[in-house]
Amino acid sequence: MKHQILRNALRAGAAAAARGFSRLFAALAAVLLLLGSVSGGAAEGPDATKTNLMNLTIEQLMEIKVDSVVGASRYPQKVSLAPASVTILTDDDIKKHGYRTLADALRSVRGFYATSDRNYTYLGLRGFNRPSDYNSRFLLLVNGHRLNDNIYDSALIGNEFPLDLDLVDRVEVIRGPSSSVYGNNAFFGVINVITKQGRDFNGSEVSGSVGAYESYQGRFTYGQKFSDEAELLFSGTFLDSAGPDRLFFPEYNFPASNDGFAEKADYETAYKLFGSFRLGLWTLEGAYSYRKKGVPTGSYGTDFGDPRASTIDRPAYLHLTWRDCLNANWDATARAYFDYYSYQGIYPYAPVLNKDTSSGNRVGVDAQFTGKLFDLHTVTFGVELRDNLQQDQGNSDLPTGLVKLDDRRSSLNAGVHGQAEIALLTNLVFNAGMRYDYYEWFGHRANPRLGLIYAPVEPTTIKLLYGTAFRAPNVYESFYGDSGATQKGNPGLRPETIDTYEIAFEQKLPAGLQFNASVYRYCIEDLISQMTDPADGLLVFGNVGQVEARGVEVELLGQTEHGLRGRVSYAFQETEDKTTGGPLSNSPKHLAKLNVTAPLWRDRLFAGFELQYHNRVKTLAGNTAGSFWLANLTLFSHKLVEGVELSASLYNLFGTRYGYPGANEHLQDVIQQDGRSFRVKLTYRF
């Protein structure tokens, strides 16, 4: 009753690295030094005369690039002052490396890795990537708008991501817990995708690509800045891929399953729409996407090789923002939004087809005030209300119509947050934030974040960081059950929590290089993980463990005035399942990455080369998915013909055979990935 009263009231108110990898890192760093790279996007240390970003106009804020970040504290601040370790990927990175999906781009970031079960892509950071979590431990934003849905809390980063990468201006990658600012899902980090504006096109643009496996993609975009007060952007994208003709899975190598070959079952189709319109202080933005993916792995015990096995995801949102500078030191932001998400899975079990569905929508409002005190300190505080109007799940058999699940729910979340950035000295900043969240299902949570940021000399910044975060059990984990067929719910789930300690170091070096390093330790309590209940053999989520992890990340980056850019990184990460005393599954101890883009002819033709090392990992069955190297190469040209951009990419350049661990729903212990593939892309602006 008290929950209903509250609902009505609120609604009414509307450790050490291996020697070999150290040598590898040193060698790659030497390559960059020999190339004479000059630091690009290097952040400045804190100082008392830092630019007052609060005084910038909306147009100026839209043009803020690499040396600042918005997503760390929900307001623009220098990267060096952000209470987190931050990496920013630009549209130039996306073009010159030929990234096709957000997952491709995030794989290039130090400490990150992404795996695939040939249906969805799963993101890992600092040694943690659990099966079937749908990226619910990362908060995914587009221009500050939450994209995680209200059924699975999923962050979609493959072709199901609702934005064409050609529309991305930059991607802010913020490591560490950020529940002090955002509440749920900001567990390991926040990924804030900033889109381009109408002014970035000032006309029309068409783009088309063709690639391996009969893959085709087309896009049309129109963008225009009509005046300082009005700006418009609209874009539509279509994608279709037949996928590999035949995939071999040895686990199904018997005659009844076509000797282990899945034929024409890895197809994919997607449509994406995005638009934004700014008029004065108001901005209206919306997106819709549809993605259908064939599932060739026979997951959940379905009939192997049946091409009808598929999933469909439809995320959409509409977001209205008002922002005004109240005076020289204070501004205010208010937002209202509507989110929609639907999912449909078709799972063939002869003689029936099992249809799995979910549908969720929510409305929300939030308001935030940010200002300067005494021209030295920045404070912010805000409130947020999300009303999950619909959180429905269903499961039935066709054509019999047998209903196995019909679960209909709604819920309410509310939060208040505040943060202060206090200049203790001209080179010492203390950052403290806290957020209190109320959840109708399980009660309340409070999460702090603290940061001490010190610049002993101008080229050096040291950050001492601490924070906590939580991830609430979602409706899928808590209530999904298909009448004993494969899975059951667990309404008694508790939120999982994380405590993280980190030291981040940023240093400008001679020859203009930038060196970044982080040392961290985190502990997760009440970990929510999927397992098989030995009592009945059904899949179920439970608070089944505790995880401790520690690691080191190092990175060297730079850019010359002639267009040569480079970034090399190495991550040592060690995670331990405290229940078993062993390492977590799907947790590589070593990751190494090299990214270089080099001008081949003036500023018109470039080569982008990427090399990634992924250490072996433990599978759910206790076996090993082997180590591997992946290389990608892209040639990118522009200005050869006015208004034309042309690129050609080779992915998995050396045809490496590799695979990722399967989840509980897979018979495969390791799921093999694609070999060498290609894409050719042409873009014309008029």
Exposed/middle/buried for 41, CB within 10 Å: 0-12, 13-18, 19+? middle
pLDDT level of residue 531 (50, 70, 90 thresholds): confident
User: Looking at residue 31, what is its pLDDT?
Assistant: 35
The larger pLDDT score, comparing residue 533 to residue 111, is at: 111
Q: Quickly list DSSP for 588-612.
A: -SEEEEEEEEEEEETTTEEEEEEEE
Domain ranges of the chain: 2-14+23-441+461-663+673-685
152, two tokens = 């699975």
Distance between CA atoms of residues 384 and 144, nearest Å: 13
**Sign of the torsion angle spanned by Cα atoms 87, 92, 95, 97:** negative
What residues form DSSP beta bridges with 632? 610
Least Cα distance to 683 among 644, 626, 657 occurs for 644
Q: Is 19 left (phi over 0), alpha (psi -120 to 50) or beta?
A: alpha
Residue 65 has pLDDT above 60, yes or no: no
Give CA–CA dist 437/460, Å, rounded: 36
Q: Tell me the one-letter amino acid at 525.
A: E
What whole-number distance in Å separates Cα of residue 18 and Cα of residue 30? Answer: 18
Instruction: Give the single-character DSSP code of 627.
Output: P
The tokens of 467 are what? 């924070």
**Overall average pLDDT of the 207-226 stretch:** 98
Q: Does domain 2-14+23-441+461-663+673-685 have CATH number 2.40.170.20?
A: yes
pLDDT digits (tens, 9 = 90+) for 455-489: 999 899 999 999 999 999 999 999 999 887 788 99
In contact, 437 and 415? CB cutoff 8 Å: yes
Strands (E), 280-408: 282-294, 310-325, 330-349, 352-373, 377-398, 403-407
- The answer to whether residue 1 scores a pLDDT higher than 50 is no
Give the lowest-confidence range in 13-22, 428-437, 451-460, 613-622: 13-22
How far, in Å, CA of 612 to CA of 73, rounded? 31
Average pLDDT, the chain: 90
pLDDT reported for residue 128: 96
Give the other-Cβ count within 10 Å of 379's Cβ. 15
**What is the percent of the chain where pLDDT is above 70?**
90
Of 517, 500, 430, residue with least CA distance to 466: 500
| CA–CA gap between residue 487 and residue 297 (Å, rounded) | 18
Nearest to 571 by CA among 628, 523, 520, 502: 520
What does the pLDDT read at residue 483? 82
Lowest mean pLDDT among 19-33, 73-87, 88-102, 575-589: 19-33
- What's the Cα-to-Cα distance from 185 to each of 176, 267, 472, 498, 670, rounded to whole Å? 11, 30, 8, 11, 28
- Reported as a pLDDT band with limits 50, 70 and 90, residue 666 is very high
Q: How many residues does the chain have?
A: 686
Chain position carrying tokens 């891929």: 241
Distance CA(157)–CA(101), nearest Å, equals 7
Question: What are 607-628's pLDDT values in tens digits?
Answer: 999 999 999 999 999 999 999 9
**pLDDT band, very low/low/confident/very high, at 24 (cuts 50, 70, 90):** very low
Q: What is the pLDDT of residue 42?
A: 33
The answer to whether residues 110 and 593 touch, using CB atoms and an 8 Å cutoff, is yes
The average pLDDT across 541-560 equals 94
Biggest CA pair distance of the chain: 77
19: confidence class by pLDDT, cuts 50, 70, 90: very low
Cβ atoms 357, 395 nearer than 8 A: yes
Residue (of 381, 385, 472) closest to 432 by Cα position: 381
State the DSSP code for 474: P
**pLDDT band of 441, cuts 50, 70, 90:** confident
Write out pLDDT tens, residues 365-420: 999 999 999 889 999 999 999 999 999 999 999 999 999 999 999 999 999 999 99
* DSSP 8-state assignment for residue 473: P
Q: Is pLDDT above 70 for 52?
A: no
CB 178 within 8 A of CB 468: no
Q: Are 472 and 456 in contact (CB under 8 A)?
A: no
pLDDT digits (tens, 9 = 90+) for 123-145: 999 999 987 789 999 999 999 99
Q: How much helix, strand and coil, in percent to the nearest 5, is found in the chain?
A: 10, 55, 35
Please list the residues that pair with 503 across neighbouring strands.
464, 519
Q: Provide, rounded to the nearest whole percent, the portion of the chain with pLDDT above 90.
A: 82
- pLDDT at 529 (0 to 100): 87
Q: What is the pLDDT of residues 183-196, one digit of tens each?
A: 999 999 999 999 99
Q: Which amino acid is at 196?
A: K
Instruction: Let me know: does 553 contact 569? Beta carbons within 8 Å.
Output: yes
Residue 53 has pLDDT above 60, yes or no: no
The single-letter code of the amino acid at 227 is: S
Beta bridge partners of 95: none
Averaged pLDDT for residues 545-554: 95
pLDDT average, residue stretch 487-506: 95
What are the pLDDT digits (tens) for 635-652?
999 999 999 999 999 999
DSSP assignment, residue 86? Answer: E
Per-residue tokens: 341? 């998400």
Contacts of 386 (CB under 8 A, 6+ apart): 150, 362, 363, 364, 412, 413, 414
Cβ-contact 621, 587 below 8 angstroms: no
Written as six digits, the tokens of 247 are: 């995939």
* pLDDT tens sequence across 298-320: 999 999 999 999 999 999 999 99
